[in-house]
Amino acid sequence: MRARQSSLPIFPRLPVGEAPAARLNMRPQSERNTKIRTSAYAEGFSLIEVLVVVAVILIIAAIAIPNYLRSRMRANEAAAVANLRNISTAEVIYNTTYGIGYSLDLNKLGGTPVVPDANQAGLIDSVLSSGAKTGYSFSYAVLSADASGNVLGYSVNADPVIPGNTGDKHLYTDQSAILRQNLTAAAGPTDSPIQ
């Protein structure tokens, strides 16, 4: 019967006083190359792997950025609608509080007075009373006044500062407090109301 062969390499026995470093050099060539080969691959990523990761990131950005811009525009439009409602409400309060009709401009509705009066009512914030907020510019116009100079009718237009970037809708309201919109030009009293 034959003796079973071992798969372990056979190293020659070293004399008793021999240094251990000499034993390392006596390993078979295949074991020494294996260690070198694995360390070469463990140093970093290949160019193909880096390019694939960059391509995936670019694809995700191409999908996400337009959606972000659209959602920001819709948020600006919603804020402009809320600001027009605030202006309409402030005009009604101004008219009933001071009994001199509606205000002559947005600045009279704004301000931060200690004691509110007809020149600084403090009904809307100072940013909105300046005429620009959340990517929209607000234009106030007196439509009609009585013989005493009291304002009987007004209009407010809200237009995107950069159409197609800060918003798409042009908005309008007047003393009726009906909000109207137009997608191509400045909105007016004949445009369709916002639903």
Q: How far is CA 21 from CA 10, 30, 195, in A?
A: 18, 18, 87
116 lies in a domain? yes
14 lies in a domain? no
Task: Give the pTM.
Answer: 0.71
Tell me the C-alpha distance between 109 and 45, whole Å: 63
Summarize pLDDT for 154-169 with one digit per residue, the tens.
999 999 999 989 999 9
Summarize pLDDT for 127-161 with one digit per residue, the tens.
999 999 999 999 999 999 999 999 999 999 999 99
Residue 190 amino acid letter: T
104 lies in a domain? yes
136 lies in a domain? yes
Q: Which residues of 132-171 are buried (b: 16+ CB within 10 A; e: fewer)?
A: ebbbbebebebeeeeeeeebeebbbbbbbeeeeebbbbbb
Summarize pLDDT for 12-45 with one digit per residue, the tens.
565 665 555 555 555 555 555 555 455 555 578 8
162 lies in a domain? yes
Q: What is the number of structural domains in the chain?
A: 1
7 lies in a domain? no
Q: Write out the residue range of the structural domain in which residue 154 sits.
A: 78-182
Tell me the C-alpha distance between 191 and 164, whole Å: 20
86 lies in a domain? yes
pLDDT greater than 80 at residue 93: yes
